A = this chain, B = another copy of it.
Amino acid sequence: MNLDQQCINTIRFLAVDAVQRAKSGHPGTPMGAAVMAYTLWDRALRHNPRHPAWPDRDRFILSPGHASMLLYALLHLTGYDLSLEELRNFRQWGSKTPGHPEYGLTPGVEMTTGPLGQGFASGVGMAIAERLLADHYNRPGHEVINHYTYAIVSDGDMQEGVTSEAASLAGTLRLGKLIYLYDDNDIQIEGPTDTVFSENVARRFRAYGWQVLGPIDGQGPEAIDTAVRSAQAETGRPSLIICKTVIGYGSPAQATAKVHGEPLGEENVRAAKNTLNWPQEPAFYVPDEVYAHMRKAIERGQAAEEDWQQRMEAYGRAHPDLAAKLDLQLRGDLPNGWDHGLCNLFSDGSQPIATRAASGQALNTLAQRIHALTGGSADLAPSTKTIIFGYGDFGWQEYCGHNMHFGVREHAMGAIASGMALHGGVIPYTATFLIFSDYMRPPMRLAALMGIRVIYIFTHDSIGLGEDGPTHQPIEQLMNLRAIPNMTVIRPADATETVEAWRAALLNTDGPTALVFTRQKLPVLDRTALPPAEGVQQGAYVLWDSTADSPEVILIGTGSEVHIALEAGKDLATEGVKVRVVSMPSWELFDQQPMDYRESVLPSAVRERVAVEAGMTLGWEHYVGLDGAVVGMRSFGASAPAEILSERFGITAHNVVAQAEALLRR
């Protein structure tokens, strides 16, 4: 057995043994795709196991995350900080080797994968970030950003819609440094792939504008190496290399769905080791020569990074200002004075303005200082107000433009934004109507799980959008975003809170933020008479008290309904009720506050509480309990002018007053 085959079999059996030991996992893909993965890592991938975060490294994504042991084996063998002991602890509590690869947990894992299609689509985002930075920062003789984005993708990835969306956009954008190896093994869980997937994948990808190579022999290192070189040589199109492989290669059950998702079983492990001439014992066997060969990656990686550092130094001497800016962006830091001009955007006495429009002004103000801000909309930019004026369009003619156009592809938009954030150097934002957040939940959840800074702009946030009707009126979406762990949702009440919402989003580096804005105009709260909008940073704050005494009733509103709460509060006050109005733009930020702050806003003794929000009432008992009332939606909306809808669905100050009075009468 030659050295390549030894390395490949080491990878295969590390996976097989780990799955067997864990009594769960997916051996089939590591066995089948080991040649592809090994060849790519051995011959092409530019990475430094000793410094996984080196900015100009090639990116590698394992889109079928269930094949995680393939990646863990590669990371261990090439010298990342991932011991053999960790591989033995595959899928155990506290290990660095969870069932699916997790970003931030395991050194060298570029992205959390598992839900199919996400890796494919987020890789496109990484390639976009690379092109954007390269186009903006590289100078003749100074190629400081110049790397590939690779992925292994599977049949399942190919069937997911998000993959189609991302592939179509990658083709349009001519992302020549995107190189995907397709593990085409003809098998999926329910049986042979062609019973559900008879399409011609090569033709489909050519239609998208990709270079398609193969089908090649996915068990042949030379064929793979040659194809990767051809892919690298094609600079004007992304490349898909179709690799014919055999799932579970070497097992008696190879080429069947049986080897996909469960341990081979001791007998088949023995048989597979026999078939591939691998020693039965010990388990987790790594020949010395395999270590010796594969750990050369360290040396190569350090040399590559050092070369890059020298180039960066030369660049810094030639273009010191650019180098400083690039460095800042790559670190993910905000420049000094990044929020300059933000506070004064909406002086007291501003005319009524929709929060989407206020957001547009905030974004444009911020973008003047924060060069990293890059994003766009899923074909709704005029409505979401997310164009950064004067900063060009991101496209193949000009990759350094800041305004991205995702097309009507919300799902890919979300996944691409994650890829951009993971790549680093950019702070991505996305935009669409709140209702269409439903189209992009999988990547939002992954972003929350990964803890990365992505900013989701969602406008048209309630029945207040009016005539477009129930298909377009979000009801449950707001609460559903709040339910995602580590997602921060902010729904500001007016232009002044909108500015603060943006500030919070940029400062939230540990997870994504959803900014939720109105279509309709709202008054700008008079901050000379009311507390400052900085209260947004605490999630909720007392907007108005009718008296210095303890309140009899507390009205809690978010977004556009804060104005309803305030109106209701003033009405109640004229009746002599001691009332407090709380603006609560963000549950998450509020719930993170110390108990005494929360108690100061919502004294536990005051159980007469009315929440008002033009969304599903479910969940609001979190603040109003069983003794309070919720004014909100209990059904889908309807098509009519917004004012009529508010009346018909009872989202009115009148109704809030009635609910409060009913509580007080009890």
Contacts and interface: CB of A to CB of B under 8 A. Distances in A.
Given A93-B644, A115-B436, A159-B408, A485 B480 contact: no
B636 A486 contact: yes
Interface stretch (A322-330, A337-345, A461-469): A461-469
B195 A100 contact: no
A407 B196 contact: yes
Interface residues on A, range: 35 or more
Interface string A161-181: 111110011011000000000
Interface stretch (A285-293, A492-500, A524-532, A619-627): A619-627
A190 B93 CA distance: 48
B472 A188 contact: no
A393 interface: yes
A634 B485 contact: yes
A607 B621 CA distance: 14
Contacts of A117: 408
B441 A438 contact: yes
A206 interface: yes
A484 interface: yes
A620 B25 CA distance: 34
Nearest to A205: B207
Instruction: Please give the count of copies of this chain that the complex contains.
Output: 2
Contacts of A438: 115, 441-442, 445
A23 to B, nearest CB: 8
Contacts of A634: 485
A468 B190 contact: no
A155 B482 CA distance: 32
A239 to B, nearest CB: 16
A380 interface: yes
Nearest to A113: B471
A117 B485 CA distance: 29
B395 A195 contact: yes
B196 A100 contact: no
A449 B471 CA distance: 8
Most chain B CB inside 10 Å of its own CB: which residue of A24, A467, A479: A467
Given A199-B209, A475-B485, A619-B619, 19 more contacts: A91-B641, A92-B639, A161-B409, A168-B199, A190-B405, A195-B395, A197-B407, A199-B207, A200-B209, A202-B207, A203-B207, A438-B445, A449-B636, A476-B485, A479-B618, A479-B619, A485-B616, A486-B636, A621-B625
16 contacts: A92-B639, A93-B641, A99-B467, A99-B468, A99-B471, A99-B472, A114-B471, A115-B438, A161-B162, A172-B196, A190-B377, A439-B441, A445-B476, A475-B485, A483-B616, A485-B635
> Nearest 10 pairs between A and B by C-beta?
A161-B161, A98-B639, A114-B471, A164-B164, A625-B626, A203-B207, A196-B407, A476-B483, A93-B640, A621-B621
